[in-house]
Structure 1
Amino acid sequence: MATTPAQLADIPGLIRCETTPPDQLLAQCQEMTKEQYSHQEVYGDYCPIQMYVDCPPEDVFDYLCNINNLDEYTVSTRSFEPTDTPGLYVGWDLLAPDTRIYMRLLPNRETMTLDYHCAWDQGEELWMRYFFRVLPAQEVLGKPGSVVLWVNCHHKYYDKNPYPELAPSPDRIWVGDLWPLFYAGHLAELDNLRRILEHRHAAGLPTSVAPDPEVTS
């Protein structure tokens, strides 16, 4: 049974055609739309980026699922190796001296979604989350290739290191100090990914040149 207007009547602030005339609805949408937005308004709590990649979606997804490819397209994460914990890897983040980064990849091939769970300094609480989805561009843009969506959320730990005793030095920069630059940094990384994949796809080369570790899907 569908929801009736009476069941929503006591919820303030809803904007629905049943209670808001079309001209008023359009006027409200115009008020909510600005010509300019501050960086904080757009990227304060969430950092979404997206990009078209002229490469088949299955190849893009496979590339992202290979943790060794972070050495290629990311700005600073390098040399991941398996830990004694199944599925957990540890590498280096060159943004800060002597900083270890732990990583777990959680892919879903059916929906072509991939979550990177990671954290600096320790692998027990992987609170840094990077969410990817690869869309077939033919379905959403009407042309071959892929659309890559990438979202990061501003976890409260970005504001304060929850494990300061694990930092290699007390004056080491904290990853959260860089949050205002996340959009630019991630955009550069996504553009790196695009350039690598488009170059190899156009040349008929394998998408990945790094060995492909097993990733549970």
Structure 2
Amino acid sequence: MEVPELDVPGVYRIETMALKEGMPLVLDMTRSVYPHDEIYGQYCTVTEFVDAPPDEVFEYLADTRSLCEWTYSMRGFERTEDPEIWVSDDRIGSHTRIYTRTVANAEAHTVDYHCAWDQADHLWMIYLMRVVDAQLVLNKPGSVVTWTNCHHPFYDDNGYPETEPQGRPVWVGDFWHLFAAGHLLELRNLKAICEHRHANRQPIKPEWMN
């Protein structure tokens, strides 16, 4: 199939830029040190290998209640009037309730947590997760889990200030610069839990969730 020419500014293809011209451009984009905001300012992605079967890791993540085990601060999950939404305490925010709806796709092994502090009408904090079969990408058994967050404007300016508890000293966006490290800590929690249960021949998704 012949690929048509593209007359689009800012698109670099071998048809319009030879390798000897493109290589210096790529090398110039490669640095030994990167500013934190350049890597994690608008999007925050963390990745970890988990020595446990991908189907079981996915099934565990797809249950909203798993968050009470592997996250640092979400505890005490209860169902709301909407059967798809759970409410819990986010203990990094004093007196903060966090609402969560989980959207999972078993075929693609994606698990998206739609969350918000204080209110359930607009779940704008979206945590995008994917479980990949490590046999495909690393040639060994296990799972590769990726987790991405996008810097929604409400992280900088609460879109629902009227729902905020009086006197709370922090807002979730105050921690954005720590999201990469904080989420990696939580992802390593997930790794430790899944690997421990798998190594000890226990179900990764515990019986109490069934």
Please classify the TM superposition score into its range, dividing by the shorter chain length. Answer: over 0.9
1:78 counterpart residue number: 75
Alignment TM-score, normalising by the size of structure 1: 0.93
Paired with 1:128 and 1:50, the residues of 2 have a C-alpha distance of 19
**Aligned-pair identity (%):** 48
> Offset at 1:170?
4.0
Paired with 1:125 and 1:145, the residues of 2 have a C-alpha distance of 35
1:115 counterpart residue number: 112
SS in 1 for 2:95: coil
1:94 counterpart residue number: 91
> Offset at 1:209?
2.1
2:159 counterpart residue number: 162
Q: Is the Cα contact below 8 Å between 1:68 and 1:210 reproduced in 2?
A: no
Gaps of 5+ in 1: none
> Offset at 1:4?
1.8
SS in 2 for 1:58: helix
1:202 matched to 2:202? The reply is: no
Paired with 2:18 and 2:2, the residues of 1 have a C-alpha distance of 21
SS in 2 for 1:211: helix
> Offset at 1:156?
0.4
Paired with 1:113 and 1:36, the residues of 2 have a C-alpha distance of 31
- What is the aligned counterpart of 2:53 among 51, 56, 72? 56
Alignment TM-score, normalising by the size of structure 2: 0.96
Q: Is the Cα contact below 8 Å between 2:93 and 2:168 reproduced in 1?
A: no
Q: Give CA-to-partner distance per residue, 1:121-152, whole Å, 9 cap, x none.
A: 00000000000100000010000000001100
Aligned residues: 210
CA-based RMSD: 1.3
1:177 counterpart residue number: 174
Paired with 1:124 and 1:183, the residues of 2 have a C-alpha distance of 27
Q: How do 1:9-24 and structure 2 match up within 5 A?
A: 9=7, 11-24=8-21
Paired with 1:86 and 1:172, the residues of 2 have a C-alpha distance of 31
1:4 matched to 2:1? The reply is: no
Paired with 1:171 and 1:68, the residues of 2 have a C-alpha distance of 25
Paired with 2:65 and 2:16, the residues of 1 have a C-alpha distance of 54
Letter in 2 for 1:39: H
> Offset at 1:153?
0.4
Deviant stretches of 4+, over 3 Å: none
> Offset at 1:172?
2.8
